Amino acid sequence: MEEYVVSGARIKCTFGTTPATLNVPVPKTLKISGKNVATQIDCVPLVNIGSFGKCNVVPAAPKPCTPAGCWMNTSTKVSVDGMPALTTDSNMICTCGAGLISIESSGQ
């Protein structure tokens, strides 16, 4: 069963040193427990997704881990405002270091 992701979900990057919080500030037509349901377009660095601390792709020279990419594996059953909803199975490839960004908790 798909579990939908809402604003406040916890996300992580395999090469980042800290998890981040997913922020969905734009009002959506679908909410769960009063929180906006996240969609495929909620992937803007430092707006929807904060920093993951330091990027450990090159451990000898860590740099800030700033997310970049597009959500994949989104819902095929539910869309919000014309965009596929995120589920706990959604993820993205980080273009900064080939890390995998995934959902740790849905935020519900």
**Which value, in Å, is the radius of gyration of the alpha carbons in the chain?**
13
pTM of the model: 0.86
Number of domains in the chain: 1
The answer to whether the CB of 95 falls within 8 A of the CB of 10 is: no
- Residue that is written with structure tokens 């579990």 in the block: 3
Q: Dump strand ranges (E) for the chain.
A: 10-13, 20-21, 31-32, 35-36, 54-55, 63-64, 79-80, 83-84, 91-93, 100-105
pLDDT(105) > 90: yes
> For the segment 53-97, what is each residue's pLDDT rounded down to a tens digit?
888 887 776 777 777 778 999 999 999 999 999 999 999 988 776
CA angle at 48 for the pair 70 and 41, rounded to the nearest 5°:
40
Among residues 38, 36, 28, 48, the alpha carbon closest in space to that of 73 is found at 38
Residue 34, strand partner residues: none
User: Domain containing 89 — which CATH number?
Assistant: 2.60.200.60
What pLDDT is recorded for position 13? Answer: 92
